[in-house]
Amino acid sequence: MCREQVEVGGKTDWDLGVARKSVNRKGKVDVTPVNGYWFLSLRNKNKYAFRTEPSTVVDLNLPPHKIGVFVDFDKGQWICFPVTLNVFLFFPALQVSFYNVEAKIHIYTFNDTFTERMFPFFSPCTNKSGKNETPLIITPVKT
């Protein structure tokens, strides 16, 4: 299991989640799970969405100050994909869950498969003439 907590309070825009090691990081990138990105974004201080196809808009009644991102590789489940008759590929299941840490509220969980290493994905977005200057702060997870 991998986990991270990120302080997002005071920002108007941000993205955070995880990405596959092999994602395209140059030029215009379509940041969706199909392309190896699983993340939550905030736009204009109150528009939360998961970048799925189409985007999954989330109504958060209590705006989070700190977001927890938990990646579970150890569910013990395997997804089977038939390739040809009597030939199958098995991939471990992946869960990426997002929580409002202080309120202890589950926000959303992605269920998918993975075939390579995953890495944290953060974007503080643009400064917006000082309106979004507060930094994202990665904080230690207390166990």
Where do the domains of the chain lie? 2-139
Contact 18, 35 (CB under 8 A): no
Question: How many CB atoms sit inside 10 A of residue 14's CB?
Answer: 21
Task: Give residue 26's pLDDT.
Answer: 87
- Distance from C-alpha of 15 to C-alpha of 49, rounded to nearest angstrom: 10
Contact 18, 109 (CB under 8 A): no
Residue 79: burial class (beta carbons within 10 Å; 0-12, 13-18, 19+): middle
Q: What tens-digit pLDDT sequence spans the chain (143 residues)?
A: 557 899 999 999 999 998 888 998 888 888 899 899 999 999 999 999 998 889 999 999 899 999 999 887 665 444 444 444 555 555 566 788 999 999 999 999 988 877 778 888 889 999 999 999 999 998 877 66
Task: Give residue 143's pLDDT.
Answer: 61
Q: Nearest 5°: CA angle at 3, between 36 and 100? A: 95
Architecture of domain 2-139: Sandwich (2.60)
